[in-house]
Amino acid sequence: MNFQKVCTLDEFWEGEMIEVEIDNHVIVLVWPEGEEPRAFQGICPHQDIPLVEGKFDGRVLMCRAHQWTFDARTGRGINPGDCRLAEYAVKLDGDDVLVAVDGVQPLFAHS
């Protein structure tokens, strides 16, 4: 896997989300409370809304447009439950946060 640095731990804290882009992949990086950072597709699978414009409470990521919600630990849909976010591999190297986009394609759900 080809991991690329997206930020450092000084720029990204537990309980936060940020948007990064690698090779035309828009990614939302979230750090769920008590977990390791996770990286998911940064566009809501419902209607192409940037997820970083939504809300993140440390556990649940919510799209601003229609309040679709996702588990920030797994990317699984909470509401509705029959969707999910594509997940990218994340690796920490010292204080650097690295993400790999190899073989990952964003998922799109019903509308």
For residues 56-66, b (16+ Cβ closer than 10 Å) or e, as one string?
Answer: bebbbbbbeee
In this structure, is residue 109 part of a structural domain? no
Find the domain containing 23 and state its range.
Answer: 4-100
Per-residue pLDDT in tens (0 to 9) along the chain, 111 residues: 899 999 999 999 999 999 999 999 999 999 999 999 999 999 999 988 999 999 999 999 999 999 999 999 999 999 999 999 999 999 999 999 999 999 999 988 755
| DSSP symbols for 30-45 | E--TTS--EEEESB-T
Question: Per-residue b/e over 68-88, b at no fewer than 16 CB within 10 Å?
Answer: bbbbbeebebeeeeebbbbbb
Give the count of domains, the chain.
1
The CATH number covering residue 71 comes to 2.102.10.10
14 found inside a domain:
yes
Indicate whether 80 belongs to any domain: yes
Question: Which candidate, 31, 49, 56, places its Cα nearest to that of 108?
Answer: 49
Identify whether 15 is part of a domain.
Answer: yes
